[in-house]
Amino acid sequence: MSTEAVVVDQVEHRYGERVALRQVAFSVAPGEIFGLLGPNGGGKTTLFRLLSTGLPLQQGSISVLGFDVRSQADAVRRRIGVTFQSPSLDRRLSVEENLQHQGHMYGLVGRGLRDRIARLLDRLGLADRRRDVAGTLSGGQQRRVEIAKGLLHDPRLLLLDEPSTGLDPGARFDLWRYLEALRAGGVTVLVTTHLMEEAEKCGRLGILSRGELVALGTPAELRASVGGDCLTLQSPEPDRLRAAIEAGTSLRPQRFGDALRIERPEGHELLRDLVAQYGGLITSCALGKPTLEDVFIQRTGHRFWEDDTPSE
């Protein structure tokens, strides 16, 4: 039996002629917060549905907590908690009633169920809201109740699809504080997200683009893989500026819309030289350390939100 919490090996998935996932492979260690980062259409939702047994596996293999999702789907479902992007609370019921109904679905009843509900609500900072109607809670509080539903049967793996959807920055901060507490308590967490700041909070990341896993590692490792600084030059004539830079230097800028992008160590010195030599073609410039979006650009050749081929 695998010691990894999740093992995805050469997974492919199609919707008719359209390829949603291509040879995706990665693993998730027990007690890790692992993120799948990608724009809409990148393949995140398809992979999430495969991991949660919501879609049949077409090609490749997936092992969840040592069980095969194709041949042991029931065993997988009993051991995972799932929080979907779409809200699942009954807004007319109290927090406690929502959790009671969830518990009944797993055969939990009586004192055992009451104790689990009390423990989770205390752990998630909701003990004083147990009798409140779900529809009166803030977005962040409702999201915590959703997570409580997913944890009620003590799963070892929690799957979260776009967990920060609809939350303000304060609620997002609270949510990730609770996820870190879960991880510290031994729960493995796998999230899908299209938010760079959310991806930075994960222990490791897999970046998906048009159905392919284009990068894998910790956020720091991925940013370091870009190397140097990232320069962005805005120009009314980007093709002319790029041709001039290529003719006068050894640089090969990438064009994105009306901007050129260059990766280079000691970027501040290069920026000074480029502005001095080609300032007439530059309307604005920016210099910064590599971000996860820079990683995405380097691995795919296009911006994050230009990755709009539908794959999910």
Residue 167 predicted with pLDDT over 80 = no
Question: How does pLDDT run across 30-69, given as a tens digit for each residue?
Answer: 999 999 999 888 899 999 999 999 999 999 999 999 999 9
Dist CA 72 CA 68 (whole Å): 5
Token pair belonging to 36: 């799948």
Report pTM.
0.81
Residue 19 predicted with pLDDT over 50 = yes
Strand order, beta sheet including 59-64: 18-28, 6-15, 59-64, 67-68
Burial class (CB in 10 A: 0-12, 13-18, 19+), 234: middle
Question: How does pLDDT run across 278-298, given as a tens digit for each residue?
Answer: 999 999 998 888 889 889 988
Q: In 3D, which of 44, 91, 100, 54 has the Cα closest to residue 76?
A: 54
Domains of the chain: 6-223 (3.40.50.300), 228-289 (3.30.70)
Which alpha helices (DSSP H) does 37-109 contain, by range?
44-51, 73-79, 95-105
Dist CA 155 CA 292 (whole Å): 31
Question: How does pLDDT run across 172-207, given as a tens digit for each residue?
Answer: 888 888 889 889 989 999 999 999 999 999 999 999
Q: For residue 311, what pLDDT is reported? A: 46
Bridge-based pairing of strands 212-217 and 204-209 is antiparallel
Q: For residue 312, what pLDDT is reported? A: 53
pLDDT band per the 50, 70, 90 thresholds, residue 307:
low
